[in-house]
Structure 1
Amino acid sequence: MAERHTHKIRFLSGGERQMVSIATGLLAEPRLLILNEPTLGLSPKLRTELCTAIKSIKAMSVPLIVIDQDVSFLSELIDRLYLFDHGRISNVLERNDIPDHDTLMAMLFGGVTS
């Protein structure tokens, strides 16, 4: 982002805007940082960069709540996964207990696992 410091935010890419949003949140020295769908609309390359950035934030001991539908992205970051169904927590999984994609989809939407 250093090379973009003179650009207006409206001219930044979606990933760059996301990074600016997270940085702005960190400037407030939050006791808890909540990221809602941080990967939405990002390219795979930017998702990787964002994951690295969030890992750095986590390493700074900033408590995080990350809401996202990309479970593979989340599994690299989280200690615990909360599954919601119609606004209620339907299941809580520790990091080591998170199943593969197909099993997780079956848990969420029913059906037979492969």
Structure 2
Amino acid sequence: MIIGVGIDVCDVSRFALTIQRRPGLVKRLFTSREAERPTASLAARFAAKEALAKALGAPSGLSWLDAEIETDEVGKPSLRITGTVADRAAALGVARIHVSLSHDAGIASAFVICED
């Protein structure tokens, strides 16, 4: 059964300007492995974290670093959750999280489904 669904989009150019003006933001939003990725990929990962928060009911107190978007050897993304995000997911009974990322034409997007 679906527990929550979230979607988010991010303008890649605007995101790039934001992290240029506030470079410390990268360390607050992304794990060290995520931070190595190109800007469009970071924008998609930011959108995924926003979509995940929405799928979990957008509670306050979630740490951005407690959700990491990983990719397997063929490029399929998945979410690894820990800490505050894992606690919220467990409280809701989330057993599986599905994530889809895209970036094209200057827009990054992400879709997340949480299910039991």
TM-score (norm: length of structure 1): 0.27
Higher relative contact order (CA 8 A, sep 6+): 2
TM-score (norm: length of structure 2): 0.27
Greater share of residues in strand: 2
- The higher radius of gyration belongs to 1
